[in-house]
Amino acid sequence: MNIISPYQGLPERSYWRSGVSRQSPDTVSDLYIKKFSLNPRDKIITAGSCFAQHISRQLRKRGCGIVDAEPAPPGLLEDQGHKYGYHLYSARYGNIYTVRQLLQLVREARGKFKPAEWIWEKDGRFFDALRPSVEPEGLRSAEEVVAHREIHLGRVRGMFARADVFIFTMGLTEAWQHRSSGTVFPTAPGTIAGQYDPVEYEFINFDYSDIYSDFIRVRRILKARRPDMRFLLTVSPVPLTATASGDHVLAATLYSKSVLRAVAGRLAQQFDDIDYFPSYDLIASHFSKAAFYEGNLRSVTSAGVEAAMRVFFAQHDMGAEPALRSTDAIAAVPEMDPANSLADVAVDDADDLVCEDALLEAFGR
């Protein structure tokens, strides 16, 4: 009886030499094999750390049905909108770095969680500490922050209630939390606003079991309302700016990303409705020899994003290349009917015939 090695006869992607050494990260084609298909009619929602913005933008450019539950007002330029948290994700929750933060948001939107000490003040302006980046100058009063958050949560609730696919990018394991309540914040108190008080706040570095169980809870809550919801997980390849763990930032980064990668991998193995897209693996591993990072070895280059999305779209055929589409084709599925720029303004002037008659009369024709 011939004993055949279990490694014999595997596809080329299974071997390092043919799958990596002889491949280029710019052209590798079978790094990712989708677990389920995305339907062009799917309502896709996005959230996560800042790398998720790239994915969201690329999907929009391809005409995917990215939900925009909080569209920007007409007249706001794209850059201005981004500065205020519009069009980055499917709602204005800003960066959601940790799965605990996501769990909080999901529970808060359902009225099952009340954050503590979440309004921070700086120079007389007030910030929503759970998404401080969306109003960079803060708001006039704490009451205004409360009102904004109530409206925001309503939109988030509606967004989750309609989503078919949830793309979430895991960013960090490290966070700061309010000691007595366990409320987790996306930034350390004192960074954008607020004040760091070690009696009130503490550093936390979530481990594998925390993150895994948090995501299980997120999934359970969301699927209770949307049983067919599918999840597509990625891990952000962007290293930590700083660590409070006491470790060297390189070691802390590798630890953090490794844990996240392990959780994402485990979840994808365990559930049919969770897929893992290996953008992190492509960009951050030595396969790409750091070619997809800027000089600071932290920011991901546009070539890196393009390489990752090429791998993604090789599996999920969502239509034409971005360059082939006009900006008009950039699609978003608004949860509300936004006032449509000047097209809406011009409605009052649509009755050209009346105007034409008046002009003809006045100018004597």
> Three-state DSSP class for 259?
helix
> Three-state DSSP class for 294?
coil
Please state the separation of Cα 217 from the chain's center in Å: 19
Q: Which is nearer to other proteins, 86 or 176 (CB)?
A: 86
- CA 30 to CA 46: how far, in whole Å? 24
Q: Which is nearer to other proteins, 149 or 316 (CB)?
A: 149
CB of 154 to other proteins, least distance (A): 5
From residue 70 to residue 109, the character string flagging contacts with other proteins as x (rule: CB under 8 A) and all else as - is xxxxxxxx--x---x-------------------------
Q: Which is nearer to other proteins, 19 or 158 (CB)?
A: 158
Q: Could you tell me the maximum CA-CA distance found in the chain, to the nearest angstrom? A: 105
Asked if 345 is part of the footprint of other proteins (rule: CB under 8 A), the reply reads yes
- CA 24 to CA 186: how far, in whole Å? 36
CB of 185 to other proteins, least distance (A): 20
Residue of 123, 150, 272, 328 interacting with other proteins (CB under 8 A):
150
Asked if 365 is part of the footprint of other proteins (rule: CB under 8 A), the reply reads yes
Query: How many binding residues for other proteins (CB under 8 A)?
Result: 51
Task: Determine the interface stretch with other proteins among 193-201, 263-271, 320-328, 349-357 (rule: CB under 8 A).
Answer: 349-357
Q: Which residues pair with 96 in a beta bridge?
A: none
CB of 150 to other proteins, least distance (A): 8
Residue of 190, 265, 319, 338 interacting with other proteins (CB under 8 A):
338
Considering only residues 109 through 148, tell me which ones interact with other proteins, judged by CB under 8 A. Answer: 135, 137, 139-141, 143-144, 147-148
For residues 149-167, one letter each, b for 16 or more C-beta atoms within 10 angstroms of the residue's C-beta and e for the rest, the string is: beebbebbbbbbebbbbbb
Residue of 33, 249, 251, 342 interacting with other proteins (CB under 8 A):
342
CB of 359 to other proteins, least distance (A): 5
Residue 3 token pair: 């004993």
Instruction: Report which of 198, 182, 173, 50 is spatially closest to residue 118, judged by C-alpha positions.
Output: 182
Cβ contact 312:279 at 8 Å: yes
- Please report the sign of the dihedral spanned by the C-alpha atoms of residue 310, residue 311, residue 312, residue 314: positive
CB of 350 to other proteins, least distance (A): 7
> Three-state DSSP class for 331?
coil
Residue of 154, 182, 265, 319 interacting with other proteins (CB under 8 A):
154
Helix pair angle (208-225, 99-109), 10° resolution: 30
Asked if 161 is part of the footprint of other proteins (rule: CB under 8 A), the reply reads no
Cβ contact 161:192 at 8 Å: no
Residue of 7, 111, 286, 363 interacting with other proteins (CB under 8 A):
363
Q: Which is nearer to other proteins, 249 or 359 (CB)?
A: 359
Instruction: Report which of 233, 231, 239 is spatially closest to residue 278, judged by C-alpha positions.
Output: 233
CB of 69 to other proteins, least distance (A): 10
Cβ contact 331:65 at 8 Å: yes
Residue of 12, 197, 294, 356 interacting with other proteins (CB under 8 A):
356
Point out which residues bind other proteins (CB under 8 A): 70-77, 80, 84, 135, 137, 139-141, 143-144, 147-148, 150-151, 154-155, 158, 336-339, 341-342, 344-356, 358-365
